[in-house]
Amino acid sequence: MLALVLASNIQHRASRSRNNPRLTNLRRCPMHRSFTIVALMVLLLLLGLNRIGTAQAVYDTVSIYELQFVPDPDANDLSPRLGDTVVVRGLVMHYPRDLWVGARWAVYIVDPDSFPNPWSGFFIIQHDTFAIQTGMGFLEPGMICYFTGVVDEFNHFSQVAVLTNPPVPITIESAGNPLPAPVLLTADDIDNRADAEQWESMWTRVENATIVNNQVPGNWASFTDATGATAFMGEYFNWFRDRLIGGTYTWPAPGTNFNVNGFIRDEPSGYTTNPRDTLDLEILTNPPVISDVTRNPGVPTSSDAVTVSATIVDNGFVQSATVHYSVDEGAWQQLAMTANQDTFSAQIPPQSDGAFVRYFVSAMDNDNEVSTFPGDTSRATGRVFFYTVRDAGLTIEDVQNTHGYAADNSGYEGYEVTLQGVVMTDSTDEVGDFWIQDDAAPWSGIWVNNVPTTAVKGDLVSVTGTVQESFTVTRLDNVTNVSVVTPGVGEFPPIDVTTGAVTTGAPTAEMYEDVLVRVQNVTVTDPFPDGFPGFGEFVVDDGTGGVRVDDFFDAFSGQVAADTTFPQGAHIDYIIAFGYFSFSNYKLIPRDSLDVGPMTAIGEPLPGLPTEFALEQNYPNPFNPTTDIEYSIARAGQYRLEVFNILGQRVRELASGYHNVGNFRITWDGRDDAGNRVSSGVYIYRLSGRDVSLSKKMILLK
């Protein structure tokens, strides 16, 4: 009973500290801190957590540096101890419920002996919060602890997952230690993997920075500093995330100068610094705040002058406001905006049919501080507002094409449009939604969301709805009309593309969003890119770069299962799918199982747990056209099984990715990475990875 009372008391205090950012460990009174620490230690004893040393003794104790350091982050930034169970020591930097990690506990830690040197920050997470015996839920900033868990990676972000089955308690070495000052960095230090990886999970500070864009997708803000590099602030701490999503807080206006303290996180879209609360964000200047930029009409014709309006406020007064506009990529022109209280407006003159018009808004206050909206108007990293003048109605490309701007917002976001296209899916694929295309070309498709009307594949339809960005995917929502223009015109065929053209980071990936494409002769290179059992995704590669395949559609949902329906190394003749984007990755979403061509499964796990690495002789040998290769992995980690010709050129990657300890069999079908059959001759197959490099010869005879 006493243990429960103490646990409740500690959790109540932790909750209070989260809601009041001023109650951090550095600012709380010593008497309060001492009571909490004593209560926690009593609680741990009552829960039977005093057998810590025995539980941890069976695992290696390593430093944070040993978990983090990699010699070439661009080539491989995965922890060298990936998959190992280890014990690591660190100073807890905040409360375990401060972060947005769902129903989990997590803390950033730093090495109290080596911080602020590079590679001295790490991340600890506990997935099962019912296992309170670990003591993770009762940690406080300033505690130096030993954590026991498995080293893993979440989207290239290194972490230790605390052991919970059975629970291995955390050892508290000491408590009440002062938190260190953050290490001073620049935007240039965290704008790319080669520079930023050494600062992953570190407690850092950037000074004299300037907000570039306060509306980066994902509730981020971009900023720059004297180095000229662009970096990002994220909302990984609940204080910011809850308020940004709830609409009660926005990042400072573009042009704002500030200092920021935060923890560095490796995200699929870039590295972010993540402040804990507004006390970590020191505002140095306050330029005008521009919001609610609109145009009227939203879909202009050649007879329309377009009124651009914006709400602009300042802590002093707005001295001037300007609409900047450009026609057909011409020079930027300026229009002075007139004020009606906080609403400012100006008119862009009528333009000819087919003209492409870009625009943005700027403002200056009485201190001559300037802001723009959007904050970043460059093509390389930002966006502007735009529209195409159409007298005969918009095309889907008018709505989808981003015109080379990095931010992929539609120029018609928030406006009602009418589009025509051929129905490419129906209710047997996805209930309530359908996809239309008006051509077999890039930018030609769009998702029509939440429509009660039943659509028929192959019909040419007219759809009226509001353009919406759903987590950066453009779609039509709030649909008010769907009518058949011409029935039975037939679906457009898929566009043949390479996996490298539609994968994350490819400059062409966005143009295939919502467009039906086909990739051919692909190999499954990772059946669980998010770890086992995954989220219904796997990765395929035709040799040009891997792309995720997602079971988004109702008719395909469940096809990607934990029983490795698409096992590593399997060869798939083709996949027909729509381009899609979610959780920072471009993906392919097949409509149903008929969109996935014949598969040759060429890898399977075998029973038994080996104690040493082995690569067996292939059988049969010589062979034609297929042969089996068995190998054993004695230590979990990243491994590859590859086939080379006698010149040392790689012919085929049979397996690549994380392997658990086990015995495996893979069948090589005599094809190269492009799916072509190879000629007769001698080939070398090699197993490589941490602590192993084994090879053997085999002969293909035709």
Q: Kindly state the average pLDDT of the residues 287-296.
A: 95
> Does 85 reside within a domain?
yes
Rounded percentage of the chain residues whose pLDDT exceeds 70: 89
Please tell me the predicted confidence (pLDDT) of residue 600. Answer: 65
- The answer to whether the CB of 562 falls within 8 A of the CB of 533 is yes
Q: 108 falls in which pLDDT band (50, 70, 90)?
A: very high
Give alpha helix (H) positions in 513-653.
Answer: none
For residue range 152-184, what is the model confidence (pLDDT) as tens digits?
988 789 999 999 989 999 999 999 999 999 999
| Residue 529 DSSP SS3 | coil
> Does 20 reside within a domain?
no
Does residue 438 sit in the same domain as residue 479? yes
> Does 102 reside within a domain?
yes
Q: Kindly state the average pLDDT of the residues 36-45.
A: 51
Closest by CA position to 520, among listed 537, 501, 492:
501
Does residue 71 sit in the same domain as residue 154? yes
Does residue 207 sit in the same domain as residue 225? yes
Write the CATH number for 440: 2.40.50.140
Write the CATH number for 379: 2.60.40.10
Question: Apex CA 636: angle with CA 631 and CA 638, to 5°?
Answer: 80
For residue range 223-247, what is the model confidence (pLDDT) as tens digits?
999 999 999 999 999 999 999 999 8
For residue range 525-574, what is the model confidence (pLDDT) as tens digits?
888 887 767 788 999 999 899 999 999 998 887 655 444 467 777 888 89
Three-state SS across 569-584? CCEEEEEEEEEEEECC
> Does 674 reside within a domain?
yes
Rounded percentage of the chain residues whose pLDDT exceeds 90: 67
Answer yes or no: is pLDDT of 7 > 70: no
Question: Which residues make beta-bridge pairs with 192?
Answer: none
Does residue 262 sit in the same domain as residue 194? yes
CA distance 620 to 321: 77
What beta strand segments (E) does 244-403 contain? 257-267, 270-274, 281-283, 289-296, 306-313, 318-327, 333-336, 338-340, 343-348, 356-365, 370-373, 385-388
Does residue 55 sit in the same domain as residue 168? yes
Answer yes or no: is pLDDT of 501 > 50: yes
Last residue of a domain, one of 283, 310, 345: 283
Does residue 140 sit in the same domain as residue 55? yes
Last residue of a domain, one of 600, 619, 647: 600
- The answer to whether the CB of 372 falls within 8 A of the CB of 338 is no
CA distance 432 to 423: 13
Please tell me the predicted confidence (pLDDT) of residue 601. Answer: 53
CA distance 39 to 34: 8
Radius of gyration of the chain (CA): 28
More confident residue, 662 or 518: 518
Q: What's at 99, amino acid-wise? A: L
Write the CATH number for 619: 2.60.40.4070
460-470 and 473-486 beta bridge pairing: antiparallel
Does residue 148 sit in the same domain as residue 55? yes
Q: What is the mean pLDDT of the chain?
A: 88
> Does 31 reside within a domain?
no
Last residue of a domain, one of 443, 468, 486: 486
Name the least confident of 240-244, 272-276, 371-375, 672-676: 672-676
Please tell me the predicted confidence (pLDDT) of residue 565. Answer: 67
CA distance 395 to 504: 26
Provide the domain count of the chain. Answer: 6
Please tell me the predicted confidence (pLDDT) of residue 637. Answer: 76
Does residue 542 sit in the same domain as residue 651? no
For residue range 617-671, what is the model confidence (pLDDT) as tens digits?
999 999 998 999 999 988 877 788 999 998 889 999 888 766 778 888 899 989 8
For residue range 300-332, what is the model confidence (pLDDT) as tens digits?
999 999 999 999 999 899 999 999 999 999 999
For residue 163, how many C-alpha atoms fall within 13 Å in the half-sphere facing its CB? 21
Does residue 255 sit in the same domain as residue 323? no
Answer yes or no: is pLDDT of 32 > 90: no
Does residue 340 sit in the same domain as residue 450? no
Name the least confident of 53-57, 379-383, 481-485: 53-57
> Does 113 reside within a domain?
yes
Q: 2 falls in which pLDDT band (50, 70, 90)?
A: very low
For residue range 465-496, what is the model confidence (pLDDT) as tens digits?
999 998 889 999 999 999 999 999 999 999 99
pTM (two decimals) = 0.68
> Does 138 reside within a domain?
yes
Does residue 160 sit in the same domain as residue 191? no
Question: Apex CA 151: angle with CA 84 and CA 613, to 5°?
Answer: 30
Task: Kindly give the interhelix angle for 30-46 and 2-19, rounded to the nearest 10 degrees.
Answer: 140
Please tell me the predicted confidence (pLDDT) of residue 416. Answer: 97
> Does 535 reside within a domain?
yes
637-645 and 650-659 beta bridge pairing: antiparallel
Does residue 371 sit in the same domain as residue 450? no
Q: 606 falls in which pLDDT band (50, 70, 90)?
A: low
Which structural domain range is residue 154 located in? Answer: 51-174
